[in-house]
């Protein structure tokens, strides 16, 4: 697996980036749907099965390698989604919150 990480760094970073973009785009204040709805369950099941197949080395040759890469990219993607959402939560909401003190500072300054 370390060889996979060493051999596909740019590709995994790309998956991370795609995840970050998707996480950023989908991050919103809308109420989150219940987690068992939609693709998450099936995706999680598929991932677990994939991990088991990889751990048990049930797929031979290139299929085994490709499975490992698929799992790694999936992980990096999901992590990217969380990172993207987190960044948005920081970079997009925080400035709004920080504007208020800036106004206050200017008001305070003018008051001075």
Residues of this chain that interact with other proteins (CB under 8 A) are 2-4, 7-8, 11, 14-15, 18-19, 21-23, 26-33, 35, 37-40, 43, 57, 60-66, 68-70, 73-74, 77-78, 81-82, 85, 89
Nearer to other proteins, 62 or 98 (CB): 62
Nearer to other proteins, 35 or 110 (CB): 35
Place of tokens 């697996």: 1
Q: State the nearest-atom distance from the C-beta of 51 to other proteins, in Å.
A: 15
Token duo for residue 2: 């370390």
Nearer to other proteins, 26 or 107 (CB): 26
Nearer to other proteins, 40 or 99 (CB): 40
Q: What angle do CA 54, 59, 65 make, to 5 degrees?
A: 65
Residue 15 near residue 78 (C-beta atoms within 8 A): no
Q: How far apart are CA 87 and CA 95, in angstroms?
A: 12
Q: How far apart are CA 111 and CA 74, in angstroms?
A: 55
């Amino acid at each position: 697996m370390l060889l996979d990480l060493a051999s596909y760094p740019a590709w995994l970073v790309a998956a991370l980036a795609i995840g970050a973009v998707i996480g950023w785009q989908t991050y919103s204040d809308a109420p989150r749907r219940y987690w068992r709805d939609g693709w998450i369950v099936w995706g999680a099941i598929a991932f677990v099965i994939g991990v088991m197949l990889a751990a048990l080395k049930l797929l031979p040759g290139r299929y085994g390698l490709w499975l490992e890469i698929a799992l790694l990219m999936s992980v990096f993607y999901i992590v990217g989604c969380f990172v993207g959402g987190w960044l948005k939560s920081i970079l997009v909401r925080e400035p709004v919150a920080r504007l208020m003190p800036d106004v206050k500072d200017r008001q305070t300054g003018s008051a001075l």
